[in-house]
Structure 1
Amino acid sequence: MAGATLSALDVSLDEHALTTILHHLRPKIIFVDSKLVHLVSKVIDNKNNKHIQENHHGHKPLLVAIHDVSPDHRTQCDLGVPDYEQTLATGESDFQAVSPADECDPISVNFTSGSTGMPKAVAYSHRAAYLNSLGLILRYNMGKSPVFLWTLDMFRCNGWCFTWAMAALGGINVCIRNMSAKIIFDSIQLHKVTHLCGKPTILNLIAESPPVDQKPLPSVVDVIIAGAFPMTPVLKRVQELGFNIVHGYGMTEALGPALIRPWRSWQHHHHDDDEDDHEDHNLKYREGLHNITLEAADVKDPTTMLSVPSDGKAIGEVMLRGNTLMAGYLGNLEATRKAFSGGWFRTGDVGVRHTDGCIEMKDRARDAIVLGKEVISTLDIEAVLLSHPKVAEAAVVARDDIVAGQVPCAFVKLKEGRCSNAEEIVEYCTERLQKAAMVPKMVRFEDLPMTSTGKVQKSAERESQCNWEALSIERALLHKKQNIRLICSQTI
Structure 2
Amino acid sequence: MNAGTSPFEQGLEKNTANYAALSPLSFLARAADVFPEKTAIVHGKQRTDYRTFYRRARQLASALASLGISKNDTVSVMLSNVPPMLEAHYGVPMTKAVLHSMNTRLDAKVIAFQLDHANCKVLITDREYAPVVKEALSLATVTPTVIDYSDPEFPQEGERLGTLDYEAFLQSGAPDYDWSLPDDEWDAITLNYTSGTTGNPKGVVYHHRGAYLLAQANVITASMAKHPVYLWTLPMFHCNGWCFPWSISIVAGTHVCLRWVRPDAMWSLIADENVTHLCGAPIIMSTLLNASADQKRDLDREIEFFTAAAPPPESVLAAMKTAGFNVTHLYGLTEVYGPAVVNDWQQEWDALSLEQQAQKKARQGVRYVALEDLTVLDPETLAPVPADGETLGEVMFRGNVVMKGYLKNPDATAKAFEGGWFHSGDLGVMHPDGYIQLKDRSKDIIISGGENISSIEVEDVLYKHKDVQAAAVVARPDEKWGETPCAFVEIRDGADVGEADLIAFCRQHLAGFKTPKTVIFCDLPKTSTGKIQKFALREEAKKL
When the two structures are superposed, what TM-score results if normalisation uses the length of structure 1?
Answer: 0.84
Give, in whole Å, the separation in 1 of the partners of 2:291 and 2:524: 24
The alpha-carbon distance between structure 1 residues 338 and 234, as it changes in their structure 2 partners (threshold 3 A), is same
1:133 alignment counterpart: 215
Shift of 1:177: 2.0
2:72 alignment counterpart: none
2:8 alignment counterpart: none
The alpha-carbon distance between structure 1 residues 324 and 79, as it changes in their structure 2 partners (threshold 3 A), is closer
Matches within 5 A, 1:275-286: 277-286=354-363
Matched, 1:442 2:507: no
Matches within 5 A, 1:448-467: 448-451=524-527, 453-467=529-543
Shift of 1:101: 1.4
Shift of 1:427: 3.3
* 1:222 paired residue among 304, 314, 335: 304
Q: Secondary structure at the match of 1:7?
A: strand
Q: Secondary structure at the match of 1:366?
A: helix
Give, in whole Å, the separation in 1 of the partners of 2:266 and 2:409: 40
The alpha-carbon distance between structure 1 residues 52 and 449, as it changes in their structure 2 partners (threshold 3 A), is farther
Matched, 1:315 2:408: no
Matched, 1:104 2:104: no
1:63 alignment counterpart: 146
Instruction: Report the AA paired with residue 442 of structure 2.
Output: A
Matched, 1:304 2:381: yes
* 1:163 paired residue among 245, 267, 287: 245
2:282 alignment counterpart: 200
Shift of 1:43: 2.8
Is the contact between residue 350 and residue 357 of structure 2 (CA under 8 Å) also seen in structure 1?
A: no
Shift of 1:113: 2.3
Is the contact between residue 197 and residue 224 of structure 1 (CA under 8 Å) also seen in structure 2?
A: yes
Give, in whole Å, the separation in 2 of the partners of 1:76 and 1:450: 25
The alpha-carbon distance between structure 1 residues 238 and 422, as it changes in their structure 2 partners (threshold 3 A), is same
Instruction: Report the AA paired with residue 289 of structure 1.
Output: V
Shift of 1:392: 5.5
Q: Secondary structure at the match of 2:195?
A: coil
Matches within 5 A, 1:212-291: 212-262=294-344, 268-269=350-351, 271=353, 277-291=354-368
Give, in whole Å, the separation in 2 of the partners of 1:78 and 1:179: 25
Is the contact between residue 382 and residue 395 of structure 1 (CA under 8 Å) also seen in structure 2?
A: yes
Is the contact between residue 377 and residue 395 of structure 2 (CA under 8 Å) also seen in structure 1?
A: yes
Q: Percent identity?
A: 39
The alpha-carbon distance between structure 1 residues 217 and 16, as it changes in their structure 2 partners (threshold 3 A), is same
Is the contact between residue 282 and residue 530 of structure 2 (CA under 8 Å) also seen in structure 1?
A: no
1:490 alignment counterpart: none
Is the contact between residue 204 and residue 407 of structure 2 (CA under 8 Å) also seen in structure 1?
A: yes
Is the contact between residue 115 and residue 451 of structure 1 (CA under 8 Å) also seen in structure 2?
A: no
Shift of 1:14: 2.0
Give, in whole Å, the separation in 2 of the partners of 1:76 and 1:448: 29
**What is the aligned length?**
451
Is the contact between residue 133 and residue 165 of structure 1 (CA under 8 Å) also seen in structure 2?
A: yes
1:13 alignment counterpart: 106
The alpha-carbon distance between structure 1 residues 399 and 76, as it changes in their structure 2 partners (threshold 3 A), is closer
Instruction: Report the AA paired with residue 125 of structure 2.
Output: V
Give, in whole Å, the separation in 1 of the partners of 2:313 and 2:238: 25
Structure 1, unmatched stretches of 5+, are 54-60, 272-276, 469-492
Q: Secondary structure at the match of 2:298?
A: coil
Is the contact between residue 299 and residue 317 of structure 1 (CA under 8 Å) also seen in structure 2?
A: yes
Q: Alpha-carbon deviations, 1:199-229, whole Å to 9, x = none?
A: 0222233333344333122422110000112
Q: Which stretch shifts more, 406-415 or 184-193? A: 406-415
Give, in whole Å, the separation in 1 of the partners of 2:294 and 2:348: 25
Shift of 1:259: 1.3
Give, in whole Å, the separation in 1 of the partners of 2:482 and 2:512: 15
Q: Secondary structure at the match of 1:37?
A: helix
2:202 alignment counterpart: 120
Give, in whole Å, the separation in 1 of the partners of 2:348 and 2:319: 10
Shift of 1:284: 2.0
The alpha-carbon distance between structure 1 residues 190 and 164, as it changes in their structure 2 partners (threshold 3 A), is same
The alpha-carbon distance between structure 1 residues 2 and 444, as it changes in their structure 2 partners (threshold 3 A), is same
Instruction: Report the AA paired with residue 147 of structure 2.
Output: V
CA RMSD of aligned residues (A): 2.7
Q: Which stretch shifts more, 357-366 or 94-103? A: 94-103
The alpha-carbon distance between structure 1 residues 430 and 110, as it changes in their structure 2 partners (threshold 3 A), is same
Q: Secondary structure at the match of 1:52?
A: coil
Shift of 1:419: 6.6
Shift of 1:434: 4.2
Q: Alpha-carbon deviations, 1:86-123, whole Å to 9, x = none?
A: 10122234421143211111100111123455422111
Q: Alpha-carbon deviations, 1:362-383, whole Å to 9, x = none?
A: 1101101245786432123334
* 2:169 paired residue among 84, 87, 91: 87
The alpha-carbon distance between structure 1 residues 184 and 436, as it changes in their structure 2 partners (threshold 3 A), is farther
Give, in whole Å, the separation in 2 of the partners of 1:418 and 1:117: 39
The alpha-carbon distance between structure 1 residues 266 and 187, as it changes in their structure 2 partners (threshold 3 A), is farther
Shift of 1:422: 1.8
Q: Secondary structure at the match of 2:543?
A: helix
Q: Which stretch shifts more, 387-396 or 155-164? A: 387-396
* 2:410 paired residue among 330, 333, 347: 333
The alpha-carbon distance between structure 1 residues 399 and 38, as it changes in their structure 2 partners (threshold 3 A), is closer
The alpha-carbon distance between structure 1 residues 448 and 23, as it changes in their structure 2 partners (threshold 3 A), is farther
1:58 alignment counterpart: none
Give, in whole Å, the separation in 2 of the partners of 1:220 and 1:416: 28
Instruction: Report the AA paired with residue 312 of structure 1.
Output: G
* 2:142 paired residue among 41, 44, 52: 52
Q: Secondary structure at the match of 1:337?
A: helix
Q: Which stretch shifts more, 176-185 or 333-342? A: 176-185
1:381 alignment counterpart: 458
Q: Which stretch shifts more, 378-387 or 438-447? A: 378-387
Instruction: Report the AA paired with residue 256 of structure 1.
Output: G
Q: Alpha-carbon deviations, 1:115-145, whole Å to 9, x = none?
A: 4554221110111111111111111111101
Is the contact between residue 459 and residue 473 of structure 2 (CA under 8 Å) also seen in structure 1?
A: yes
